[in-house]
Structure 1
Amino acid sequence: MSHSRYTSAEIEELARAARRDGFCVIKNLIPKGLLRSWRDAFMPLLDAHIAREGHLRNRGPERYYVTLPFKAPFAEPRIYEDETVLGVVSRLVGDDMIMVQLATDTPLLGSDYQDVHRDAPPLFPETAQETPAFQLAVNFPLVDVTADNGPIEIARGTHLLTRAEGLRRLAAGEIALEPVMMELGDVMVRDVRGLHRGTPNRTREPRPMVVIGYSRRWLFRPEVSIRVPRASLAHLSGRAKQMLRFNPVVESLDGPVEPEIYQAFAY
């Protein structure tokens, strides 16, 4: 396993930013050539998904959520076990984290602004208080993210507010939605409770954004999982086996593609 290019102090500062703002961006972390191979392999999956269930429009017009199969090139330990990424993640959700999601969000030309939302409800809504992080989205694009092709917009610090209070502050102009531009190779670690929205892709090229989900060990959300081929288990590191331990093990990924079950995503 490669060592982090960031020092422990730098990783701690990234985690501190994520605790404060709800997200941090790690610049130029993943080799661009590796991501281009992902993009080439992803495009046929996107086309097949649109043909199969694009009519559902569950993420809004011309915006598609596609789970990635846990096989080459997507089952890539250089990414999901990257020392810098896991250094930040472990500081936020613990060393015994679980890896629960490997998917993409892709707006095309004709997409629109999403409603402002969170990706998870609070753990204890009856208290009107938020907790430390319990679920993270590690996002990285397969193309440069520009103002024209649909950057995510995030309201800083709203992961620590109730949804109602966050929306009130947005409406009052006390806080703002900020677009997050990213270059190919950048990685964002994001608390899924932060208020955010997708924006329109005004170009003719898809803008795929990968999400790898990491959670505290006790969090189970049945709408997301990673189907791990049994034959792959012998090739996984001990840490990967530990992170993937609660995911279903399947005999094969061949055969018909199952419909996406992660339909209700906005809270």
Structure 2
Amino acid sequence: MSQTRYTSADVDELARTVQRDGFCLIKNLIPKSLLLPWQEAFAPLLEGHIAREGDLKNRGPQRYYVTLPFAAPFAEPRIYENETLLAVVERLVGADMTMVQLATDTPLLGSDYQDVHRDTPPLFPETGKETPAFQLAVNFPLVDVTPENGPVEIARGTHMLSKAEGLRLLEAGEVRLEPVLMELGDVMVRDVRGLHRGSPNRTREPRPMVVIGYSRRWLFRPEVSIRVPRASLPHLSDRAKQMLRFNPIVESLDEPVEPEVYQAYAY
């Protein structure tokens, strides 16, 4: 299947959808041929993570957050520098955005519903008001996401409300949690303040969902970062170097894997 082509008007509408609903779905954006190597390379990473940190249940039973190494096949500029994707991101968080996260969320058989949450607190909670977007999660799955294998459920429009008000509307039935079904190659751009939760994977196959985090230039969250190998720097585009500029530069990714530090995720 050929990739969908998006015009500037399409991109404008996608950005407006995120501003209105808190998320948008970009269909058929990533060639499946780019994602098949991710599937193969991710399986041993997940197995190793469970062997090392399987007792960490901070995201719920049988649900694992795994950071991806910034190396082939995951350091793929045809994905993180995709022109359509970055055009949407730029309209939401500015042209001088930073790329701050490359990781996965994977529920397995035995996972459960998460508590409804946001991924970040408001910038200025004392005002009781929300701001334009300042942090985005760009999500794409490594398998088709079906009703059975644990789709994320999002309450549309709650990114511009306080958490308390969003929960009140959910309880009153004025908004609802909507499962987001995706095919391999689809991409979701999501304001991380929107109320959402993970749902159970009732199949025997893992459901990996990649997250690439893009933020406004001044936002720093120390619990997330991308370790960039020094040897890769000459091969990065100028735009990639600019987006990755606040991440740590390491001599090698072969050093012992550190425990995941992004533990407090729900706000």
TM-score by length of 1: 0.98
Percent of counterpart pairs with the same letter?
A: 82
SS of 1:56 mapped into structure 2: coil
SS in 2 for 1:99: strand
Matched to 2:87, the amino acid is G
Whole-angstrom distance in 2 between the partners of 1:113 and 1:36: 28
Residue of structure 2 in register with 1:212 after alignment: 212
Superposition deviation, residue 255 in structure 1: 2.1
Instruction: Find the counterpart in structure 1 of residue 160 from structure 2.
Output: 160
Which residue does 1:84 correspond to in 2?
A: 84
Map of 1:11 onto structure 2: 11
Where does 1:14-163 land on structure 2 (aligned, <5 Å)? 14-163=14-163
| Paired AA for residue 21 in structure 1 | D
**Deviation string, structure 1 residues 22-63 (Cα, Å, up to 9, x no partner):** 000000011112111101000000000000001011110000
CA shift for structure 1 position 191: 0.2
Tell me how far 1:120 sits from its aligned partner: 0.3
Q: CA deviation at 1:239?
A: 0.2
SS in 2 for 1:49: helix
AA partner of residue 174 (structure 1)? E
| Counterpart residue number, 1:247 | 247
1:207 alignment partner, SS class: coil
Give 1:73 deviation, angstroms: 0.2
Shift of residue 181, structure 1, vs aligned partner: 0.1
Q: Residue 178 of structure 1: SS of its match in structure 2? A: strand
Q: Which amino acid aligns with 1:13?
A: E
What is the letter of the counterpart of residue 150 of structure 1?
Answer: G
How many residues of Structure 1 are paired with residues of Structure 2 in the alignment?
A: 265
Counterpart code for 1:119: D
Aligned twin of 1:194: 194
1:244 aligned partner, one-letter code: L
Give the match's secondary structure for 1:55. Answer: coil
Q: Which residue of 2 aligns with 1:226?
A: 226
**Partner amino acid, structure 1, of 2:31:** P
Question: Take 1:35 and 1:109, find their aligned partners in 2: how far apart are those partners?
Answer: 23
- Give the secondary structure class of the aligned counterpart of 2:210: strand
Supply the distance in 2 between the matched residues of 1:30 and 1:212 (Cα, whole angstroms). Answer: 14
Unaligned runs of 5+ in 2: none
Moved over 4 A (4+): none
Residue 154 of structure 2 aligns to a residue whose secondary structure is: strand
Q: TM-score, normalised by structure 2?
A: 0.98
Unaligned runs of at least 5 residues, structure 1? none
The 1-side partners of 2:64 and 2:134 are apart by: 25
Is 1:183 aligned with 2:183? Answer: yes
